[in-house]
Amino acid sequence: MTYEIILADPAWNFKTWSKKGEGRSPKYDKMSLEAIKNLNVKNVAAKNSILFLWITNPFLEHAFETMRKWGFKYKTVGFTWAKLLKNHEERDFQDKWKMGNGYYTRANPELVLIGTRGKILKRLDKSVRNLVLEPIGEHSEKPEEVQNRIEQLYGLDYNMLELFARRKRKHWTCIGSDLGMTVESFLDDNIIENR
């Protein structure tokens, strides 16, 4: 089976440091850039497909390399998730932003880049906005609002795949270690099937 819509949140190997030279312990298994780039995503991507790739600002250059290796051409930033604190109760955003430490400026948003392969898929709704204002969840958990908006953009008639998923979602094939199958195993198993 191939997929027209692919959402991926790779476990980028982000090194943390402080003035003391110490880093925080990773809360999940991370992958090297080469391991991420060498995933067989191209094999499960339909001839005409779109990739939504989660990325943090320090990894932008790596994201472009990864997209190309996976067979996609970068187009734009699809979504910008401005992270709110978990306990916000109203839409008064002053002092409600979740701030990371950052090494130059204090970091907040995460981006979802869009890459395409072949012909562009037909959008059903042209009113979908880029900015996603949602509270943080568990470590590395992404807001479901992004999938809601992808479905709003393209509907439910396409085959949709989420790689590095942490939860199941109706209408999507969701693959991730938290769900009992690694992305590598899934992609490798599909090499033979899609030849």
| Per-residue confidence (pLDDT) for residue 13, from 0 to 100 | 86
pLDDT of residue 192: 46
Matching residue, tokens 């943080």 = 136
Strands (E), the chain: 3-8, 45-55, 73-84, 110-117, 131-135, 160-163, 172-175
Write down the pTM of the prediction.
0.88
Task: Give all domains of the chain, ordered by start, each with its CATH number.
Answer: 3-17+27-79+110-121+142-180 (3.40.50.150)
Taking 70 as the pLDDT cut, the residues of the chain under it are 14-28, 88-99, 101-102, 191-195
So what's the pLDDT on residue 92? Answer: 56
- Specify the DSSP class assigned to residue 97: B
For position 105, what pLDDT does the model report?
78
What pLDDT does 195 receive? 41
Neighbours of 176 (CB within 10 A): 19
